[in-house]
Amino acid sequence: MTPLNADLHCHSTVSDGLLAPTEVVRRAVNNGVELLALTDHDELGGLAAARAEADAQDLRFLDGVEISVSWGDQTIHIVGLDVDPSDATLSAGLANVRSGRDARAQRIGEELERIGIHGALEGAQAYAGNPALVSRAHFARFMVATGVARDTASVFEHYLTPGKPGYVEHVWATLDEAVGWIHAAGGVAVIAHPGRYRLPEAEMTRFYDHFRDLGGEGIEVVSGAHSPSQVRDYARIARRYGFAASRASDFHGVGESPVDLGRASALPPDLEPIWLRFL
What does 156 bind: ligand AMP, Mn ion, none (CB cut-off 5 to 8 Å by kind)? ligand AMP
Sheet containing 218-223: give its strands across. Answer: 6-7, 35-38, 60-71, 74-81, 188-191, 218-223, 244-248
For position 16 contacting Mn ion by CB under 5 A, the verdict is yes
73-92 positions binding Mn ion, by CB under 5 A: 77
What does 141 bind: ligand AMP, Mn ion, none (CB cut-off 5 to 8 Å by kind)? none
Under DSSP, is residue 109 helix (H, G, I), strand (E, B) or coil?
helix
Residue closest to Mn ion, measured at CB: 77
Cα 55 to its chain centre, rounded Å, is 23
Q: Is the dihedral of CA 142, 147, 150, 153 positive or negative?
A: negative
75 Cβ neighbours under 8 A, 6+ residues apart: 68, 69, 170, 172
Stretch that binds Mn ion, among 50-58, 63-71, 199-207, 269-277 (CB under 5 A): 63-71
For position 27 contacting ligand AMP by CB under 6 A, the verdict is no
C-alpha dihedral (192, 193, 196, 202), degrees to nearest 10: 70
Give the type of residue at 99: S
Helix and strand totals (H; E) in the chain: 10, 7
- CB of residue 181 vs ligand AMP: minimum separation in angstroms? 17
DSSP state of 139: H
Residue closest to ligand AMP, measured at CB: 135
Cα–Cα nearest to 86, from 59, 101, 65, 58 = 65
Stretch that binds ligand AMP, among 1-9, 148-156, 238-246, 266-274 (CB under 6 A): 148-156
Position among 9, 41, 141, 193 found at the interface with ligand AMP (CB under 6 A): 41
Query: Between 230 and 239, whose beta carbon lies closer to Mn ion?
Result: 230
Stretch that binds ligand AMP, among 19-27, 55-63, 131-139, 141-149 (CB under 6 A): 131-139
Cα–Cα nearest to 94, from 69, 76, 121, 72 = 69
What does 153 bind: Mn ion, ligand AMP, none (CB cut-off 5 to 8 Å by kind)? ligand AMP
- CB of residue 234 vs ligand AMP: minimum separation in angstroms? 18
Q: Is the dihedral of CA 56, 58, 60, 66 positive or negative?
A: negative
249-278 positions binding Mn ion, by CB under 5 A: 250
Cα–Cα nearest to 240, from 197, 173, 194 = 194
Query: Between 51 and 252, whose beta carbon lies closer to ligand AMP?
Result: 252
- CB of residue 123 vs Mn ion: minimum separation in angstroms? 18
For position 16 contacting ligand AMP by CB under 6 A, the verdict is yes
CA angle 61, 180, 49 (to 5 degrees): 25
Query: Between 29 and 71, whose beta carbon lies closer to ligand AMP?
Result: 71
233-272 positions binding ligand AMP, by CB under 6 A: 252
**Could you tell me how many residues of this chain bind ligand AMP (CB under 6 A)?**
10
Residue 179: which H helix or E strand, with range?
helix 175-184
Stretch that binds ligand AMP, among 55-63, 132-140, 174-182, 210-218 (CB under 6 A): 132-140
Q: Interface residues with ligand AMP (CB under 6 A)?
A: 16, 41, 68, 135-137, 152-153, 156, 252
